C-alpha cells in the first residue's frame, strides 16, 4: 500500500506514527530514495505500506521543477513491483501532481464514491481526467471498478445516487456496497483496519465481500 495522501490516513489507520519515520514516500519522490527503503511492515500479515508524511503537503510545489515529474512514482515502483502480489495506491482527493503520479504508475483505477449528490459531479470529472492521462501519459490506464461507500439504504438520496451511478456506468459499479457503519468510523482512531478492529461488523464483512468480488475469488 502506497500512501500518497498528505493527510496520511492510510498510514495512521494502520497504526504507524509518521512522526517516528526517517524515510517516507516523500523521500522516494523528491530525493530519489529507493522505494523499498521506506516500506514498513504492518500488524496485518502480508501487508506492507510505503507511508506518507506531513512533508507531502508541499511536495506538489517541489515536484513542479523536477525532471519527468509525472513519472517519479512509476520509476520507483518499477524497481520493486515483482516483490508484491498487489500494489494499492491511496491518492489525495485532488488531481495534483501526486495523483497524476499515481495514475501514471497504475494500470487500473478503483473509484470510491460517497452516496451523496455532489459526489456525482466529482466522479464525472475524475473519469475525464483518467481519459486525459490515458491519452497523454499512460495508455494502459483503465477504470476497473466504482465502489459505492457510506451507503444508507434508509435514505432516498442513497438509493437515487446508487441508481444513477449504476445506470450510467453499468457493470463497472461493484455489486457490493459499503454501508455507513459506526465501527468503520471508529477503527482509524485505534490504528487498525476494520478487518482486525471488528471483523464481524457490517463494515468489515462488506469490505471482505468487496475484496472477493474485485479479485474474482469466491
User: Does residue 210 contact residue 178 with C-beta atoms inside 8 Å?
Assistant: yes
Helix axes 117-136, 156-169, angle to 10 degrees: 20
- Residue 109 C-alpha cell reads as 483505477
Model confidence band, residue 153 (pLDDT cutoffs 50, 70, 90): confident
Report the chain's mean pLDDT, rounded to a whole number: 92
Which stretch of DSSP H or E encloses residue 192? none
For the chain, the structural domain boundaries read 1-106
pLDDT digits (tens, 9 = 90+) for 53-107: 989 988 988 998 888 899 999 999 999 999 999 999 999 988 889 999 999 999 9
**What number is the average pLDDT over the span 186-200?**
94
User: Does residue 203 contact residue 194 with C-beta atoms inside 8 Å?
Assistant: yes
Cα-Cα-Cα-Cα torsion 160, 164, 166, 167, nearest 10 degrees, comes to 130
CATH class of 1-106: alpha beta
Sequence-ordered list of residues with C-beta below 8 angstroms from that of 45, at least 6 positions apart, any chain:
none
Share of the chain above pLDDT 90, in %: 76
Amino acid at each position: 500500500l502506497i500512501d500518497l495522501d498528505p493527510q496520511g490516513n492510510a498510514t495512521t489507520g494502520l497504526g504507524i506514527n509518521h512522526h517516528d519515520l526517517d524515510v517516507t514516500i516523500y523521500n522516494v519522490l523528491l530525493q530519489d530514495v529507493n522505494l523499498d527503503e521506506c516500506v514498513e511492515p504492518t500488524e496485518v500479515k502480508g501487508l506492507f505500506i510505503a507511508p506518507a508524511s506531513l512533508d507531502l503537503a508541499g511536495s506538489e510545489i517541489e515536484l513542479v521543477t523536477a525532471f519527468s515529474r509525472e513519472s517519479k512514482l512509476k520509476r520507483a515502483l518499477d524497481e520493486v513491483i515483482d516483490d508484491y502480489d498487489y500494489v494499492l495506491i491511496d491518492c489525495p482527493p485532488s488531481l495534483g501532481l501526486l495523483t497524476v503520479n499515481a495514475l501514471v504508475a497504475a494500470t487500473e483505477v478503483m473509484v470510491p464514491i460517497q452516496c451523496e449528490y455532489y459526489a456525482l459531479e466529482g466522479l464525472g470529472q475524475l473519469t475525464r481526467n483518467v481519459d486525459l492521462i490515458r491519452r497523454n501519459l499512460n495508455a494502459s490506464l483503465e477504470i476497473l471498478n466504482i465502489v459505492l461507500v457510506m451507503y444508507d439504504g434508509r435514505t432516498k438520496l442513497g438509493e437515487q445516487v446508487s441508481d444513477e451511478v449504476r445506470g450510467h456506468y453499468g457493470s463497472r459499479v461493484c455489486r457490493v456496497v459499503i454501508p455507513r457503519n459506526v465501527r468503520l468510523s471508529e477503527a482509524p482512531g485505534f490504528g487498525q483496519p476494520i478487518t482486525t478492529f471488528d471483523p464481524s461488523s457490517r463494515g468489515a464483512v462488506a469490505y471482505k465481500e468487496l475484496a472477493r468480488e474485485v479479485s474474482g475469488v469466491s
